[in-house]
Amino acid sequence: MKRILTLTAAILLITVSAFSQQEKSLYWVVETSMQNKNYSVVRFYDQNNLLVHEVTMDHVRIDITKPRHQRKLNQLLKNYQDRVISTSKRNKSKRSI
């Protein structure tokens, strides 16, 4: 009986993990000019190191060593991901091919 339950649980776990949707992991990179620190550029890259989005912030100097700035960048990234997901759901065709 234990073998059957263990085997069933293993099969269920493998099945669920096989059909689960893999989320694209994105990360951010910040560039700030060293001469005149009056702007920053935030770029979002995917797991294949391809640029997916870029934001230029005028009159803002981002210091990534500060936890507050890291939280804001992570929130900006999360908002971007949510916006992309909602847009892709909206643009899906309702008819099957």
Residue 95 inside a domain? The answer is: no
Residue 58 inside a domain? The answer is: yes
Q: Give residue-wise pLDDT tens across range 20-54.
A: 445 568 899 999 877 877 888 999 999 899 999 99
The label of the residue with tokens 């993990």 reads 17
Question: Please, which pLDDT band fits residue 67 given cuts at 50, 70 and 90?
Answer: very high
**Domain housing 51:** 24-90
The structural domain count of the chain equals 1
91 in Cβ contact with 57 (< 8 Å):
no
Residue 55 inside a domain? The answer is: yes
Higher pLDDT, 90 or 74: 74
Distance of CA 18 to the CA centre of its chain: 21
CA atoms of 31 and 63, how far apart (whole Å): 10
Average pLDDT, the chain: 78
pLDDT at 20: 46
Which region holds residue 59: left if phi is over 0, alpha if psi is between -120 and 50, else beta?
Answer: left
CA atoms of 48 and 31, how far apart (whole Å): 20
pLDDT at 74: 93
